[in-house]
C-alpha cells in the first residue's frame, strides 16, 4: 500500500528523484544522463539509486564535455528517446548553448512540426557557501528569451515533482532550473505521478493591497516577508510563477488589476531580467489600473562576489522585500529589521540548508 498523501513528506531533492524514477518506470524511453548522475551523492541526491534500478544503459555518467554530451542528448531525443539531462551547474552548461539554442530549440519549428525534441535539461542555479561569480549565476532570463524553449522554476517539493513530470512528458525542450537552496526543504508530496500544467502560476498568498510576483527560491522569501507584512496590516498576493516561459500573463494581470500595486522579484541581475519584462508589460497594458508605479527587486548588475564581506546585501531577502512593500504602501519601516533578521553567513538561506558547499 502506498503511503497516504497526508502523511508523506519529501525533500525537494527527493521529489525530483521520485519524479525521475516514476517517469522511467512508466516509460522505457526515458533516460537519466549527466555528470555525476551515478555518483554516490547523485547530484545533490536527485539521481540517487536510479542506476541500481534501471541499469547503466538508461542511467549513465558522461565526460566533462558539456556541448558534446548535450548534442548526444538532442540526437537521442530526435530519435524518439526522452533524455533527462543533468548539469550540476548552470555555469558549466553555458558550453552547450550551441546545441540548445541553434539546434534543440528550433527543430520543431524549422521542420514544420515533423520533428520533436523531448529533452529535459536540469540546471542548478544559485550560490553555495563561498562560491563566487563562476558558480552562482541565475541566467533564467537568457533562456526565457529563446523561442522554442520552455523554462520551469519550481519553488516547492510538490512542484519539483509535478513540474518535472510535465517537463519529461513535453514533446519539446524544457529547461528545469533548480535553486540549490531549495534542495533540502521538505513538504507533503503526493505519491501519484501526476504532472502539473506548464505555464500555470500558483497564488501562494492572497491579499488586496499589493501583488508580489516571485519564482523559485524567492517565493519563500516573499512568503516570509508577506507573513510579517500581515502583522502591519498589509495583505499581499504572492504569485509564484512556476514557469517563466510560457509565463502565466493572465494571472499576473488579474492580480495587478485587483491590487493596483506591483512588486516583482528576480534572482538574476536587474538589467534584462524577467522582472523587467513583467513590469514593462503591466505598465504598458494596465497603466490606468495602477495606483503606484510598479517596482522590482533583483541582484545588482555586477558579478557575484566570493567574499563574505562583499556579498552582504547582494541577494534579495525578505527584509528587503518587506521594506520595499511598506515604502510602496507609504508606511514606515518600523521593526522590519528586528523581525526579518538577515541570515549569517549572507550566502546561505537559513538553518535548513546543509550544503554541500
Q: Is the peptide bond before 356 cis (omega within 30 degrees of 0)?
A: yes
Out of 18, 21, 87, 135, pick the active-site residue: 135
The 10s digit of each residue's pLDDT in 39-51 is 988 999 999 999 9
Task: Tell me the pLDDT band of 354, cut-offs 50, 70 and 90.
Answer: low
Q: Nearest to residue 132, comparing CAs of 344, 309, 299, 305?
A: 305
Burial of 278 (0-12, 13-18, 19+ CB in 10 A): buried
How far is the C-alpha of 155 from the C-alpha of 218, rounded, in Å?
Answer: 8
Tell me: the pLDDT tens digits for 214-264? 999 999 999 999 999 999 999 999 999 999 999 999 999 999 999 999 999
- Angstrom distance (rounded) from CA 235 to CA 228: 10
Checking if the pLDDT of 7 tops 80, the result is no
For the record, the C-alpha cell of 227 comes out as 507573513
pLDDT of residue 355: 57
Long-range contacts of 333-340 (CB under 8 A, 24+ apart): 334/232, 336/228, 339/228, 339/231, 340/224, 340/225, 340/228
Q: What is the dihedral of CA 253, 256, 259, 263, to 10 degrees?
A: 160
Q: What is the pTM (predicted TM-score) of this model?
A: 0.95
Residue 130 confidence class, pLDDT cut points 50, 70, 90: confident
pLDDT band at 204 (very low <50, low <70, confident <90, very high): very high
Interatomic CA distance for residues 160 and 248, integer angstroms = 18
Instruction: Determine the 3-state secondary structure of 171 from DSSP.
Output: coil
C-alpha separations of 13 from 124, 168, 302 in Å: 11, 17, 30
Whether residue 3 lies in the annotated active site? no
pLDDT of residue 3 exceeding 50: no
Active-site option among 66, 221, 304, 324:
66
pLDDT in tens, 70-96: 999 999 999 999 999 999 889 999 999
The three-class DSSP label of residue 212 is strand
Cα torsion 72, 74, 75, 79: sign: positive
Q: What is the reported pLDDT for 346?
A: 83
Helix, strand, or coil (residue 323): helix
Asked if 90 contacts 84 with a C-beta cutoff of 8 angstroms, the reply is: no
Q: Which residues of 247-259 are buried (b: 16+ CB within 10 A; e: fewer)?
A: bbeebbbbbbeeb
Q: Answer left, alpha or beta for residue 305, where phi above 0 means left and psi between -120 and 50 means alpha.
A: beta
Residues above pLDDT 90, as percent of the chain: 84
Mean pLDDT of all residues belonging to the chain: 93
Report d(CA 36, CA 61) in Å as an integer: 6
pLDDT bin (cut points 50, 70, 90) of residue 352 is low
Active-site residue 324, yes or no? no
Distance CA 154, CA 182 (A): 9
Residue 353 has what pLDDT?
A: 64
Amino acid at each position: 500500500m502506498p503511503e497516504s498523501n497526508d502523511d508523506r513528506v519529501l525533500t525537494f531533492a527527493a521529489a525530483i528523484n521520485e519524479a525521475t524514477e516514476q517517469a522511467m518506470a512508466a516509460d522505457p524511453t526515458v533516460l537519466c544522463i549527466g555528470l555525476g548522475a551515478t555518483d554516490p551523492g547523485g547530484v545533490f541526491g536527485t539521481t540517487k539509486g536510479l542506476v541500481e534500478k534501471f541499469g547503466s544503459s538508461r542511467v549513465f555518467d558522461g565526460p566533462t564535455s558539456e556541448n558534446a554530451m548535450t548534442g548526444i542528448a538532442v540526437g537521442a531525443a530526435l530519435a524518439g528517446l526522452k533524455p533527462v539531462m543533468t548539469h550540476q551547474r548552470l555555469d558549466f552548461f553555458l558550453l552547450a548553448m550551441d546545441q540548445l539554442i541553434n539546434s534543440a530549440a528550433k527543430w520543431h519549428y524549422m521542420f514544420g512540426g515533423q520533428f520533436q525534441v523531448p529533452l529535459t535539461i536540469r540546471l542548478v542555479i544559485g550560490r553555495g557557501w563561498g562560491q563566487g561569480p563562476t558558480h552562482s549565476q541565475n541566467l533564467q532570463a537568457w533562456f526565457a528569451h529563446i523561442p522554442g524553449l520552455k523554462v520551469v522554476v519550481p519553488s516547492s517539493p510538490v512542484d519539483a515533482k509535478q513540474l518535472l513530470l510535465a517537463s519529461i512528458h513535453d514533446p519539446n525542450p524544457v529547461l528545469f532550473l533548480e535553486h540549490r537552496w531549495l534542495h533540502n526543504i521538505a513538504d507533503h508530496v503526493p505519491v501519484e505521478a501526476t504532472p502539473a500544467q506548464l505555464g500555470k502560476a500558483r497564488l501562494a498568498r492572497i491579499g488586496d493591497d499589493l501583488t508580489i510576483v516571485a519564482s523559485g527560491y524567492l517565493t519563500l522569501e516573499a512568503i516570509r516577508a508577506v507573513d510579517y507584512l500581515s502583522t502591519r496590516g498589509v495583505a499581499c498576493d504572492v504569485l509564484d510563477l512556476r514557469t517563466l516561459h510560457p509565463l502565466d500573463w493572465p494571472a499576473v494581470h488579474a492580480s495587478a488589476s485587483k491590487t493596483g500595486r506591483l512588486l516583482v522579484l528576480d534572482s538574476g541581475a536587474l538589467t534584462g531580467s524577467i522582472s523587467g519584462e513583467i513590469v514593462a508589460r503591466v505598465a504598458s497594458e494596465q497603466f490606468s489600473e495602477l495606483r503606484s508605479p510598479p517596482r522590482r527587486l533583483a541582484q545588482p548588475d555586477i558579478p557575484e562576489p566570493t567574499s563574505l564581506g562583499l556579498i552582504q546585501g547582494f541577494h534579495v531577502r525578505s527584509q528587503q522585500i518587506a521594506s520595499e512593500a511598506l515604502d510602496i504602501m507609504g508606511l514606515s519601516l518600523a521593526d522590519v529589521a528586528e523581525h526579518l533578521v538577515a541570515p549569517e553567513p549572507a550566502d546561505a538561506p537559513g538553518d535548513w540548508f546543509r550544503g554541500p558547499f
